[in-house]
């Protein structure tokens, strides 16, 4: 009986012979992947309030946690880093628990404007008994309507203005938002889940933490890490509250193997982050332009994107089918994308691939009914992970 090991091998082989253009994913370097499979994966470490670890055998794992926190602080220039949260979503729960009381209001970008589903309705607001209202947003230009935000802020008196999107192509005017928030003493939380690697590389919203109280997000989308979450702050009181709201509140153990792997990724980011992030942003802009030239409609011409994502227009449906059909057709040709019309350049850039005209031409051929599977397999074989030691 080896069903599961066989399936894992099949999955590895499958994904190693395809090109991944999913905006929410990235690829781990070999050392980061090895850390995930280390002995740490089945160990505990928990320093109690008394200062004593409740578990033995932890002399290295304690150091791994401290080193990883220090690397993250250095990378984002923050005073404090909470690396224990096991996803961007949990980091957001911790941040909201640390800044809001029951029945209070928050503002976030609506789902139909690319905001995160968890911040509305039956998800986080209902779990924590808080209310969320939408930040006025101009989808066509991908911009917050700042004057309207100022009005809504006065009406709603939010405890938190929560920024960030899952469909995320343009940064915000953070100084303006801070001023609006300050008028009613709202905390500013920046959910950079998608763009944490681009922020670390200083190519997208480098002022995210400067003008916010908490910068949080996933460690595995544009960041080089394993799946997990992080929350950064310069505010000692918030840091204390976030620590209190993490272990034994939103989760218990924090997966030591994941922390070690995140530390490896942080070292890679410190060394290569700026070059990688700048290339990612260049590639998405170029991919948007090239796709449009091949008559695959991409939104937000002529700038297309300032991040790792480009967004297909629903106008493609009459020629190529809906986003699900497009994704299925591409996957038949060895190109993996999500089913929501996002195309991401983070992983292929990390694989050292920058020829976006060729990428657009492969996509165009696949969608036009040609079989380019062998071309993608050959291309994938020629690539190996860049920006790691
Ligand atoms: C992906 C995402 C999350 C959830 O992150 P996980 O790491 O999957 O828990 C939260 N917020 C935004 C904006 C996201 O895009």
> For position 1, what pLDDT does the model report?
76
Element containing residue 335 per DSSP (H, E): strand 335-336
Residue-range domain boundaries for the chain: 30-267, 272-381
Residue 63 has pLDDT above 80, yes or no: yes
Report the C-alpha gap between 36 and 27 in whole angstroms: 13
List the structure tokens of 308: 């790792």
Q: Is 308 helix (H, G, I), strand (E, B) or coil?
A: coil
Q: What value does the mean pLDDT take over residues 129-133?
A: 98
Q: Is 163 helix (H, G, I), strand (E, B) or coil?
A: strand
What ligand 1 atom has the least distance to the C-alpha of 166?
A: 15
What ligand 1 atom has the least distance to the C-alpha of 165?
A: 13
Q: In which region does residue 248 sit, left (phi positive, over 0), alpha (psi from -120 to 50) or beta (all else)?
A: left
User: Mind listing the pLDDT tens digit for each residue in 4-18?
Assistant: 999 999 999 999 999
β-bridge mates for residue 162, sequence order: 108, 189
| DSSP secondary structure letter of residue 250 | T
Nearest CA to ligand 1 atom 15: 166
Q: Are 193 and 223 in contact (CB under 8 A)?
A: no
β-bridge mates for residue 189, sequence order: 162, 214
User: Mind listing the pLDDT tens digit for each residue in 221-279?
Assistant: 999 999 999 999 999 999 999 999 999 999 999 999 999 999 999 999 999 999 999 99
pTM to 2 decimal places = 0.98
Nearest CA to ligand 1 atom 5: 88
| DSSP secondary structure letter of residue 142 | T
User: Mind listing the pLDDT tens digit for each residue in 117-130?
Assistant: 999 989 999 999 99
Residue 143: band (very low, low, confident or very high) from pLDDT cuts 50, 70, 90: very high
Q: Which residue has the tokens 């802009």?
A: 285
Q: Which residues of 320-354 are buried (b: 16+ CB within 10 A; e: fewer)?
A: beebeebbebbeebbbbbbeebbbbbbbbbbbebb
Nearest CA to ligand 1 atom 2: 193
| DSSP secondary structure letter of residue 298 | B
What ligand 1 atom has the least distance to the C-alpha of 91?
A: 9
> For position 389, what pLDDT does the model report?
81
User: Mind listing the pLDDT tens digit for each residue in 181-227?
Assistant: 999 999 999 999 999 999 999 999 999 999 999 999 999 999 999 99
Q: What value does the mean pLDDT take over residues 361-365?
A: 98
Does domain 272-381 correspond to CATH entry 3.90.1150.10? yes
* Matching CATH number, 30-267, of 3.40.640.10, 3.40.605.10, 3.40.109.10, 3.90.1150.10: 3.40.640.10
CA–CA–CA angle 306, 310, 315 (5° rounding): 135
Query: Residues near ligand 1 with C-beta < 6 Å?
Result: 24, 87-89, 92, 116, 164-166, 191, 193-194, 218, 229
Element containing residue 193 per DSSP (H, E): none
Q: Are 291 and 363 in contact (CB under 8 A)?
A: yes
Q: What value does the mean pLDDT take over residues 68-81?
A: 98
What ligand 1 atom has the least distance to the C-alpha of 192?
A: 13
- Give residue 371 CA to ligand 1 midpoint distance, Å: 34
Residue 166 has pLDDT above 80, yes or no: yes
């Amino acid at each position: 009986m080896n069903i599961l090991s066989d399936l894992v091998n099949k999955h590895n082989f499958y994904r190693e012979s395809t090109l991944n253009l999913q905006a929410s994913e990235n690829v781990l370097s070999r050392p980061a992947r090895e850390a995930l499979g280390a002995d740490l994966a089945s160990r505990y470490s928990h320093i109690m309030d008394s200062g004593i670890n409740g578990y033995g055998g932890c002399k290295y794992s304690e150091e791994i946690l401290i080193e990883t926190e220090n690397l993250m602080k250095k990378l984002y220039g923050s005073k404090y880093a909470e690396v224990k949260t096991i996803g961007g979503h949990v980091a957001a729960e911790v941040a909201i628990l640390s800044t809001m009381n029951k029945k209070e209001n928050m503002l976030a970008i609506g789902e139909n404007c690319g905001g995160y589903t968890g911040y509305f309705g039956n998800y986080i607001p209902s779990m924590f008994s808080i209310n969320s209202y939408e930040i006025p947003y101009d989808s066509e230009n991908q911009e917050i309507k700042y004057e309207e935000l100022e009005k809504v802020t006065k009406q709603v008196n939010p405890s938190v203005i929560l920024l960030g999107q899952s469909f995320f192509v343009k940064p915000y005017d953070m100084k303006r938002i801070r001023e609006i928030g300050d008028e009613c003493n709202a905390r500013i939380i920046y959910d950079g889940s998608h763009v944490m690697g681009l922020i670390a590389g200083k190519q997208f919203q480098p002022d995210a933490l400067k003008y916010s109280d908490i910068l949080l997000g996933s460690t595995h989308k544009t960041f080089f890490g394993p799946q997990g979450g992080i929350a950064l702050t310069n505010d000692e009181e918030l840091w204390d509250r976030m620590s209190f709201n993490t272990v034994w509140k939103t989760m218990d153990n924090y997966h030591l193997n994941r922390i070690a792997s995140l530390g490896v990724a942080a070292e890679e980011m410190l060394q290569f982050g700026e070059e990688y992030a700048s290339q990612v942003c260049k590639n998405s802009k170029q991919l948007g332009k090239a796709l449009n030239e091949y008559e695959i409609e991409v939104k937000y011409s002529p700038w297309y994107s300032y991040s790792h994502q480009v967004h297909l227009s629903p106008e493609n449906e009459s020629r190529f089918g809906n986003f699900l059909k497009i994704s299925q057709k591409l996957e038949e040709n060895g190109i993996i994308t999500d089913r929501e019309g996002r195309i991401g350049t983070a992983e292929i850039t990390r694989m050292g691939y920058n020829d976006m005209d060729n990428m657009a031409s492969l996509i165009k051929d696949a969608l036009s009914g040609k079989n380019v599977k062998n071309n993608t397999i050959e291309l994938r074989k020629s690539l190996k992970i860049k920006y790691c030691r």
